[in-house]
Amino acid sequence: MNKLLSGVIAAFSLTASAALAADEVTLQLKWVTQAQFAGYYVAKDKGFYEEEGLDVTILPGGPDIAPTQVIAGGGADVTVEWMPAALAAREKGLPLVNIAQPFKSSGMMLTCWKDAGISSPEDLKNRTLGVWFFGNEFPFMSWMSQLGIDTAGKSESGVEVLKQGFNVDPLLQRQADCISTMTYNEYWQVIDAGVSPDELVTFKYEDQGVATLEDGLYVLEENLSDAAFTDKMERFVRASMKGWKYAEEHPDEAADIVLENDATGAQTEEHQKRMMGEIAKLTAGSNGALDPADFERTVGTLLAGGSDPVITKQPDGAWTHQITDAALN
């Protein structure tokens, strides 16, 4: 056998063994394929996961998919979830642990018609407000409790809570005075429907002091005692954060990568590029490690839920720097 041929065979063998040796990781997203999750799609597309010896499968979410249920049932190794839902699930017996926090800021806000006479949170009383449920209602309920506003129905000291679907119809059709929106998504759907920003008033949860952490990475606590699993997560977090920082610096390219991965064909270039620009503002300032002060603020907001708090006691063991310390230092 000549040297060239044997070299080719040796190279092929190395490539084949590397492919075989790649550790599989399944990531469950919180929602459908969109720029909200660009960092993970970028990491996969640019080969960052592959460089870490990982074969990552990204599972889109949707209205009928509960990430906590997927990971509880063994359908994913790691999931993207909002901390209120994760902490509520933990208190109910599902031992989720935050291993990384790519999102530094919250994108949640209430978007209202200005002509309804709403200019401050105090003006929300005696209104109909659209609120997402399935765990997304927790920050809202805490905020209302802190304002002393009852959520049992319209009154001089209360509001009617309309269970909002994942669209903006209740606002456009005047079924609600305000609806839940994200800075990077539903707000722009209202604008795209022909509404001028001047016709709207927005209340960002960040500005109201009731922001809770969104889009963290969570695993089951029992898996953190498995050295092989934690090694995989260290590599996964390192590659994912590389993907997020690349997406921040190349937002248009990141949006294009997301579009290429959208099997539904439902997303548009304009919407995804705009979304990526807004998402980059939320991931800016995070290297992936959870800031304990942000955790404490989130817990404080959730415990302040009045007679029906999201969680009833200070969570113990709900986050760890074990993975990020090894991945990022």
User: What is the bridge-based pairing of β-strands 96-100 and 216-220?
Assistant: antiparallel
Position 4 in a domain: no
Confidence of residue 244 (pLDDT cuts 50, 70, 90): very high
Cβ neighbours, 10 Å, residue 151: 17
User: Per residue in 198-238, pLDDT tens?
Assistant: 999 999 999 998 899 999 999 999 999 999 999 999 999 99
pLDDT tens per residue, range 64-103: 899 999 999 999 999 999 999 999 999 999 999 999 999 9
**How many distinct structural domains can be found in the chain?**
2
- CB-CB neighbours of 247 under 10 Å: 28
Same domain, 89 and 115: no
CB–CB of 187/273 below 8 Å? Answer: no
Q: Which residues pair with 108 in a beta bridge?
A: 182
Residue that finishes a domain, picked among 178, 208, 238: 208
Q: How many Å apart are CA 50 and CA 47, to the nearest integer? A: 5
Pairing of strands 108-113, 200-204: antiparallel
In the prediction, which pLDDT does 12 show? 54
* Domain residue limits at 89: 23-105+213-328
Last residue of a domain, one of 208, 242, 273: 208
Q: Please list, in sequence order, all residues whose beta carbon lies within 8 angstroms of the beta carbon of residue 68, skipping any fewer than 6 positions away.
A: 79, 81, 85, 86, 89, 94, 96, 135
123 and 193 assigned to the same domain:
yes
Residues 135-159 have pLDDT tens digits of 678 789 888 988 999 999 999 999 9
Report whether pLDDT(306) > 90.
Answer: no
**240, pLDDT greater than 90:** yes
Asked if residue 114 belongs to a domain, the reply is: yes
- pLDDT of res. 141: 87
Q: What pairing do the DSSP bridges indicate for beta strands 78-81 and 216-220?
A: antiparallel
Residues 287 and 144 in one domain: no
The model carries a pTM of 0.89
H or E, element range at 146: helix 138-147
Place of tokens 């008033």: 201
> Is residue 226 domain-shared with residue 85, that is, in the same domain?
yes
More reliable by pLDDT, 136 or 197: 197
The CATH number for 224's domain is: 3.40.190.10
Give the residue from 162, 181, 208 where a domain finishes.
208
Q: Is the pLDDT of residue 11 over 70?
A: no
Is the pLDDT at 18 greater than 60, yes or no? no
Please name the residues in contact with 96: beta carbons below 8 A apart, sequence gap of 6 or more: 68, 71, 81, 86, 89, 90, 218, 219, 220, 221, 318
Looking at the fold, whether 120 and 222 belong to one and the same domain comes out as no
